[in-house]
Amino acid sequence: MENPQANRISDPIELRQCVQNIVAEVPTIDMHTHLYPLEFGGLSLSGIDELLTYHYLVAELFRSAAITPEEFWNLKKHEQADVVWRSLFVENTPLSEAALGIITILNSLGIDPNTDDLDAIRDHFRSPNKAEHVNRVFEIARVSEVVMTNDPFDSAETAIWDKTGKLDRRFHAALRMDRMLNDWKTTAREFSYDENVSGKTVTKLRSFFDDQIASMKPLYMAVSLPDDFDHAAKDARNLLIREVVMPTAREHSLPFALMVGVRRGVNPALRSAGDGVGKGDMRSLEMICAENPDVKFLATYLSRENQHELCVAARKFSNLMPFGCWWFLNNPSIISEITRERLELLGTSFIPQHSDARVLEQLIYKWSHSRRVVAAALYDSYERLLLAGRVISTVEIERDVTKLFSGNFRNFVGLGLV
Ligand code: HDL
Ligand code: ZN
């Protein structure tokens, strides 16, 4: 590292500008998304119709338009986008984070966000060169790499892995365990496993995951868990975590990401927009970290009420890395609160954000909105340092910001430094 004393700053105004610039420019690894590279064909989503029918906006549509979910689902994709556009962007002001995100995307792509004409916007998205468009979006968002969400139990997806050779190196895999850990009965039946998680079943599952890991080369394993996840419970999920996931994590040195607090299907009529949130029990995370000190855990909670205790848990377990402001928390007011309590309790030893992007261009708004909020929180911490008599250098700021936006993740999952 350069001389850490280089370019020391003692003026608050200069310091604020410097922090804003460094955070705005730092390349980031987006460590949880639902994006796919172009090689995955229809799974790789982009364009204004996909952006407007994002489930965040669909949920908001039903609060503003007379249309019922059934009527909406019977429309074609572009008709759904027409309804969303008219209701949330023409008849109402796009003030929600998800709606404002569309405006940020349009503006960043040089498309006038003041138009009501969705067809004119559609014309701009008819980019002849998809690969160039991917490069442009990654560049605007300052995203160097993304981690996907890959379901080893989805035969459509695994078929693509089998026939697709070299993947776009910017896309890394993550092995998602939801179908095994949250729907074991169905998965056991579908894949002819013994529901009772016998020794034979454990061996079969371990070998299945060894093959999937060899094929996908994931950076970590992950699962989303309900708010009532209880690691002390004597159930199939915990048996599978202890007998299959933990040994696999050890053998392949793969961290396990727990995403806790989702209540699936609170309103099934809204389909992917129908999930809700519940406060999780931090004891279960503490238990799994304590039981497996040689395994690394990434963790994010969906409830705002879990955030402070997640910071406290991370102070107790160095094998626990809190990450992101997930889903319903991915709003400036809450990102600010969460980032500030993380800086106060954890210094720079956490991963401030992931995008959860499902549609390519969402990288643009999710990262530009978050960078602004993280920079403000980080500046306030540096300002307190200044007021305490300690000046800070640009080299130190760059070191800290690089850790937050990529270094902590790279080191935690063992991804080589570029
Ligand atoms: O389970 C998850 O990974 C969640 O992120 C869900 O996919 C959710 O629907 C989502 O997209 N949140 O942003
Ligand atoms: Zn997600």
Q: Which pLDDT tens digit goes with each residue over 73-88? A: 999 999 999 999 999 9
99 part of a folded domain: yes
Burial 35-68 (b: 16+ CB within 10 A, else e): bbbbbbeebbbbbbbbbbbbebbbbbbbeebeee
- 32-44: pLDDT as tens digits: 999 999 999 999 9
In this structure, what CATH number is given to the domain that contains residue 67? 1.10.2020.10
Q: Distance between CA atoms of 145 and 176, rounded to whole angstroms?
A: 18
Of the candidates 92, 125, 158, which is a domain's last residue?
125
Q: Which residues contact 97 (CB under 8 A, 6 or more apart)?
A: 330, 331, 332, 369
2 part of a folded domain: no
What pLDDT is recorded for position 171?
A: 97
- The protein residue whose alpha carbon is closest to atom 8 in ligand 1 is 327
What pLDDT is recorded for position 128?
A: 78
pLDDT band at residue 4 under the 50/70/90 scheme: low
Q: Distance between CA atoms of 272 and 208, rounded to whole angstroms?
A: 28
Same structural domain, 158 and 251 = yes
Same structural domain, 237 and 158 = yes
Q: Distance between CA atoms of 258 and 324, rounded to whole angstroms?
A: 12
Does the structure show a pLDDT above 90 at 222? yes
Q: Distance between CA atoms of 180 and 23, rounded to whole angstroms?
A: 38
Same structural domain, 189 and 107 = no
Domains of the chain: total: 2
> Quick one: which ligand is closest to 56's CA?
1
Same structural domain, 322 and 224 = yes
In this structure, what CATH number is given to the domain that contains residue 324? 3.20.20.140
251 part of a folded domain: yes
Q: Distance between CA atoms of 407 and 1, rounded to whole angstroms?
A: 14
Question: Phi first, then psi: what are they for 232, rounded to 5°?
Answer: -85, -10
Residue 149 CA, closest ligand 1 atom number: 3
What pLDDT is recorded for position 273?
A: 98
1 part of a folded domain: no
Q: Is 323 helix (H, G, I), strand (E, B) or coil?
A: strand
291 part of a folded domain: yes
> Quick one: which ligand is closest to 327's CA?
1
392 part of a folded domain: yes
What pLDDT is recorded for position 3?
A: 72
Same structural domain, 331 and 368 = yes
Q: Distance between CA atoms of 125 and 243, rounded to whole angstroms?
A: 48
Report the Cα 183 to chain-centroid distance in Å: 22
384 part of a folded domain: yes
Does the structure show a pLDDT above 60 at 418? no
What pLDDT is recorded for position 417?
A: 60
What pLDDT is recorded for position 59?
A: 98
Q: In angstroms, what is the span from residue 382 Cα to ligand 2's centroid?
A: 32
Cβ atoms within 10 Å, residue 6: 11
Q: Tokens at residue 360, please?
A: 């390519």
Q: Which residues contact 114 (CB under 8 A, 6 or more apart)?
A: none
- For tokens 């379901």, the residue is 151
Average pLDDT over residues 231-256: 98
Q: In angstroms, what is the span from residue 1 Cα to ligand 2's centroid?
A: 35
Q: Distance between CA atoms of 38 and 379, rounded to whole angstroms?
A: 38
> Quick one: which ligand is closest to 178's CA?
1
Same structural domain, 119 and 173 = no
Q: In angstroms, what is the span from residue 399 Cα to ligand 2's centroid?
A: 28
Please count the residues of the chain. 418
Q: What is the pTM (predicted TM-score) of this model?
A: 0.97
Residues whose beta carbons lie less than 5 angstroms from ion ligand 2: 356
Same structural domain, 228 and 333 = yes
Same structural domain, 260 and 353 = yes
Average pLDDT over residues 127-133: 91
Candidate of 277, 326, 327, 365 to mutate for ligand 1, largest count of ligand atoms within 8 Å of Cβ: 327
Same structural domain, 162 and 121 = no
Same structural domain, 58 and 107 = yes
Pocket of ligand 1 (CB under 6 A): 34, 149, 224, 259, 272, 327, 356, 358
DSSP, residue by residue, 151-210: -TT-HHHHHHHHH--S--TTEEEEEE-HHHHHSHHHHHHHTT--TT--HHHHHHHHHHHH
Same structural domain, 94 and 110 = yes
Q: Tokens at residue 58, please?
A: 């669909």
Same structural domain, 212 and 360 = yes
pLDDT band at residue 163 under the 50/70/90 scheme: confident
Q: Is 54 helix (H, G, I), strand (E, B) or coil?
A: coil
- 245-299: pLDDT as tens digits: 999 999 999 999 999 999 999 999 999 999 999 999 999 999 999 999 999 999 9
- 316-374: pLDDT as tens digits: 999 999 999 999 999 999 999 999 999 999 999 999 999 999 999 999 999 999 999 99
133 part of a folded domain: no
Domain holding 227, by residue range, is 8-45+142-413
- For tokens 């690691």, the residue is 231
Of the candidates 125, 160, 188, which is a domain's last residue?
125
Average pLDDT over residues 400-404: 98
- 189-218: pLDDT as tens digits: 999 999 999 999 999 999 999 999 999 999
Of the candidates 125, 157, 183, which is a domain's last residue?
125
Mean pLDDT of all residues belonging to the chain? 97
What pLDDT is recorded for position 110?
A: 97
